[in-house]
Structure 1
Amino acid sequence: MIELQTTPDFNKLNGLIPAIIQDYYTNKVLMLAFMNNEALEKTKAEGKVTFYSRSKERLWTKGETSGNFLNVESMELDCDNDTLLIMAIPEGPACHKGNDTCFGEKKNTSTDLGFLEATIQNRVQNPKKGSYTNSLLDSGINKVAQKVGEEAVELVIEAKDDDEALFLNEASDLMYHYLVLLAAKGYSLNDVIDVLKERHG
C-alpha cells in the first residue's frame, strides 16, 4: 500500500483536492482531476489512480472502461497539503481523445526516451502475447545481455561506413536492447542518469 508522509487537507475545496498526474518516465503532466478521501484511499490500496467525478458524483478509476490505467509509482502533497502530485506509469493515452496527455500532446512527440522506456516497462508489468520485448525478457538475462553485445558490434561495423539509414537503424536497435537490459535488471534510465550527474556534478 502506498503511503503519504502528511495528511491531505480536504477542507479547502469541500472535501476535494486536485490531483496532478505526471508520467513517471517522461515527466510530462498527463492530466488533472479531483480526489476525495475515499478516492485517495482506493488509489493507495490498489495502486491505480482513482478520482472523484464531480459530474457523476461517484468514484471512477482511470481506465475502468478504456483499460488505460494509471499505475502509481509515488505520491506527494504540496507544501500546503492541499494538492497531490502523482507519478504514474500510464498503460495507454491519458486523454479520452487518444492523446498522451489532456493538454493535446500526441503520442511519441517527446525527444527523450521516456516513451520507449514506458513501453518496455509496460511489457514488464503487463506481458503481451506475441510481444518481442516479452519474448526477449522471458529468455533470461544472459540472452538479453548477449543481444546488447551483438547490437553494439553491428553498430560499430556500420559506423565505419557512410550508410546513414543503416547506422541509425543499428543505433536504434542498440538503444532499444540497452533499455530492455536495464528493465530486466530492475533499473531505469533515470538510475543511469543519476550516476552520470554524480560523475559530472
Structure 2
Amino acid sequence: MMSKKIKLCFSVAILCMAVAGDVSANSNSDLLIRIRDPKLVRDYRLAEESGNVTIIDTYQEKSKDIPWGNSIRTSLPWTVWAEWNPSIASKLRNSLKEKEFFSSIAISPDQRWVALSVGDPDNQITKKEISLISASDLREIFRIRLTKPRYVGDLAWRVDSKRLFVLELTDRVGLNPLELISAFAGHPVPHYSFYLGIIDSDLGGISEANNPFAEDIEYASGWFARSKPN
C-alpha cells in the first residue's frame, strides 16, 4: 500500500513539474492567454486576483517578435500525459465514467488536485465538464458542468491552488457571402469567441463571464500559459 502511495505522489510531482515548470516557486509570474488565428497572435494578461483579462500585445502570425519561448503551457493534452503515466492514467479512468473522453489535464501547484476537461465519448469535440479529482486517492470530488452553452478550451490553476481558470469558447459558422459559398461547398468557416470561467476548488462552484474578451475570430485556437521566471 505504501509503495503505491509513493508511486502516486511521484507521478503527481512529475506532472506538476512537466506542466508548470517552477511556477510554484515563482508566485509573481504572469498568467497569459494566447489566442492564435491564421493571421494574428494575441496575448492577454489574466489578473489572478480579480479575474480581469486585458490585451497586452498583438503580433502578425509570422512575426519573429512573438515570444514563443517565454512561457510554459499550464496543462497537457490527456493523450500525452497518459502515454507518460499509463498506470496512473488507468486509475484515473477507473475513478470516472467508463468510456468518458478526456482532453486536457492540469495539476494544482500544491499537488492536491487533478483537473480534467471531460467530454461526451460520442462527440469528442464537445467538452462541457470539468472533473476535480483528489490527487491523494484519485477520487472525483467535484464534477462541474458549464452553465452557459460553451465548450472547455483549456485549464490553468491559480498559484495558490484556490481557483481553477477555465478558457471557455463558443463557435458559429461565418455568414458573409464568401463564407456562405464555402459552407455550401462543404467547408464552413468557423468563428470563435473566448470567455473566462473561474472555479472555486474548495466549493466546486463556477462563475462564468457574460461577455467574451476575444470575439468572433476565424479559425482561432486558444490556451493558457505562464511566463517563465526571470
TM-score range, shorter chain: under 0.3
Q: TM-score, normalised by structure 1?
A: 0.28
Q: Which has the higher strand share?
A: 2
Name the structure where helix makes up a greater proportion of residues: 1
For CA contacts below 8 A with separation 6 or more, give which structure has more relative contact order.
2
Larger Rg: 1
TM-score by length of 2: 0.26
